[in-house]
Structure 1
Amino acid sequence: MRFIDLPTFGGPEVMQLQEMDKPTPGSDEVLIRVAAAGVNRPDIVQRQGNYPAPPGASPVLGLEVAGEIVAVGEKVGRWQVGDQVCALTNGGGYAEYAVAPEGQCLPIPANLSLIEAAALPEAFFTVWTNVFDRAGLKQGEVILIHGGSSGIGTAAIQLARSFGARVFATAGTEDKCTACVALGAERAINYREENFVSVVREATDDRGADVILDMVGGSYINSNIRVAAKDGRIVNIAYLAGAKVEVNMMPVMLKRLTLTGSTLRARSPEVKSAIAKALLDKVWPLIEAGTICPQIAAQFPLDQVIDAHKLLESGTITGKVILTL
């Protein structure tokens, strides 16, 4: 099969289209003929040498795919050869064939193509486990989503809005802010021109945000503490602007804040399977009803993966980048 090799760490140009034997599924895994694969920030960080694959995981880039199952392990009971699925992989998505644990696979929503479905797993698994499981977002609460135009952000806006939250988002251009509002944000804040702490506090009668989803870090860490409501929950899923800052912990104590975060890739198959079940029960009906829709900014064939990474790194897009095979 063709796959994208990473012979060394560095910029996008280090990636190479090569050939290798297709993988063999384990006893509880399925082998998927990949039709499309999502491109995500963790892929970029891994390519740069800062996010190694967990022990036992494929070193090949790619954490989400959609396609047709062509082989199943001996213990697989839910899926059969010929089923079409999208899947959260443990690596290996940038290839013509990829394996995934059966519990991390989900059926293709009836109204989506395979390409559209490839944009679902990484973003929706991440948002569900962090915003709803970890932060416990409830109907009527206020959520502030940083990076609202990203793949994660566009999923978070739609999910939070669908479950009855008041949604605020930050983005870096007026076009991105307009896109966030179109997806369901009550207010999108251009962080280059406005102070999101002031905007959110004013819009909530000085109450602040109950939940904050942050992938920026850096100076946002202290700003998040300032804008958080009493009993607020701040969830970090990345630190694009840095993870080390000096923090005054007194407001954390006085406002009874929860500071938390998580990564998804290193979590157990059992945890990921539980997330998949929650998505199937609670989110897939909303997707099939057209209430929620994955946002795809661009598609590239597999052999143009370098251009795909450059576009994602440019920060100019709204939504996901997809590789097609």
Structure 2
Amino acid sequence: MSDTSGEKKALVPAGKGRGSGRGAGPVPGPSGQSRAMVPRGRGGMNPLEAAAANPIPFKKVGDMLVPEGYTMREVKPADKYDVVSFARAMNDDFAPKLKKLFDYETEAAVEAQKTGIYIGWRCPEFKHDCQRVNRKSRCFCDHLLDEHASYNGKSVRVPCKVGGCPCKAYSWIPNRPEDIGEFWFARRRNFDVTKWRAKCKCKHTHDFHDPNSRRCRTAGCGCGHFNSDFLCAACDRHYELHETFFDTEDSRRQQGLPVGQEWLPFAEMPDLRNIALTGHEEDDSRYLALTQGEGSIPQYVRPAGNDAVVNFGASGSRGGGGGSGFKPVYD
């Protein structure tokens, strides 16, 4: 075949020589290297050939073959078909993890029994608290409750005492990723929970926002109000729909909110309650000390009889008050 210049050009059928199509050989690149789909490594072997030539050694553990250098753990079926038994079967360290997760709230509940001041974070219409707040809980202004003015069970606005801080009222903010259900952060290498801060949809953390107007203070950011890019771990609602409340025991009773021992995490489930208090489900020593020992939780007279309503706390509360998300199973 010849073109307009008179030069002859041969047609090479597909699949032969270095043409394209099925059966075509690898085409050299600019440097003369092969463009094969599976490049060859050292020794002229590609990764698949290398893996076949150097198989991973296995060892027998019981009735199972386990690759050497790997660890294994047998997953035993749960004793009962409920969430707690399933979680315990899947996690050898279930109790210490649960205790660590609820340490802040447990201490908040114990503080409330001693002082009579209940501090909770919830949506105004709720009959349960999404979060129990203690003295070491961080405010939106990034300072602890301890760094704010003195308060009582009737406080409405508790200003910050830190010099230069404009905060006029304490407002709880998630202190760690677990508070918003983002548990995977803690598993990241070199993760430092003390540096973690909750974010707004503008991508700036709460400490970059004004604690009163909630407007973002970052130059060039048009965010006019903090809008959380996360949801509450207890109710799946946004942060800005919640408020921080300071209550007395009497005011909580009038509102139908749990008080006393019923405000402890997992109050309706003794095993989990004991884990939250002591780290061991059989150890109820701290609970007994709180309810029966010196300086114990004040016990008000409860109605008795077959027709009496038993208050297990309002539903929907995380880790207590009847709405922990766990359903007890009785044998």
TM-score with structure 2 setting the length: 0.23
Higher strand residue share? 1
TM-score with structure 1 setting the length: 0.23
Per chain length, whose mean CA-contact separation is higher, i.e. which structure has more relative contact order (CA < 8 Å, sep 6+)?
A: 1
Larger Rg: 2
